[in-house]
């Protein structure tokens, strides 16, 4: 018997595998925002799109935020994801960096919320743990594992690889939520 969950995703009773879910995954940054669209079709994850939104250093911060929002809105229209997942706020030593990252993250959340997507967040450690198997993994390890897990023919750049890892983490989180294990934090 199939029962829909809060995302309209159908689960067979007793089977925690996701049958269909499409996730917009975002690794927000002002100059290089990693973006991915991943889905699980009958429990098998695949990448539909990945890339990086590059904003030139000559662009004003406000223009970068608009570019992030606009590009994400376009991807949402094109791929019709069910939800959005991103990395939670990270600890940084510079308040200036924290403000810039927060603004980029805000532009990403705005694009998702304007389009009615539920937004979930994961800590960097949890993303690395879910992707590589250890929370202190380096960027190269994340990129290598994402390539292997998704069967990609090329290794994505670091920002796109992080976005793919966020998407995979969300898909796995939804799998285990079906077993009663706490999942993501919805914001």
Catalytic residues: 27, 87, 159
| 83-87 vs 119-122, strand pairing mode | parallel
Q: Which residues, at least 6 apart from 175, have a Cβ–Cβ distance to it below 8 Å?
A: 16, 17, 18, 43
Q: Is 1 helix (H, G, I), strand (E, B) or coil?
A: coil
């Amino acid at each position: 018997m199939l029962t829909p969950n809060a995302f309209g995703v159908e689960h067979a009773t007793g089977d925690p595998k996701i049958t269909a879910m499409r996730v917009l995954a975002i690794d927000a940054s002002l100059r290089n925002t990693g973006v991915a669209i991943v889905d699980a079709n009958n429990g098998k994850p695949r990448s539909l799109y990945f890339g990086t939104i590059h904003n030139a250093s000559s662009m004003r911060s406000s223009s970068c935020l608009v570019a992030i929002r606009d590009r994400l809105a376009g991807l949402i229209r094109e791929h019709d994801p069910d939800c959005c997942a991103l990395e939670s706020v990270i600890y940084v030593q510079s308040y200036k960096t924290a403000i810039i990252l927060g603004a980029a993250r805000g532009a990403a959340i705005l694009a998702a919320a304007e389009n009615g997507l539920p937004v979930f967040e994961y800590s960097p450690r949890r993303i690395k743990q879910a992707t590589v198997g250890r929370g202190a993994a380096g960027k190269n390890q994340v990129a290598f594992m994402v390539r292997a897990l998704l069967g990609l023919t090329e290794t994505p750049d670091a920002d796109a690889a992080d976005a793919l890892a966020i998407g995979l983490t969300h898909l796995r989180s939804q799998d285990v939520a079906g077993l009663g294990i706490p999942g993501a934090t919805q914001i």
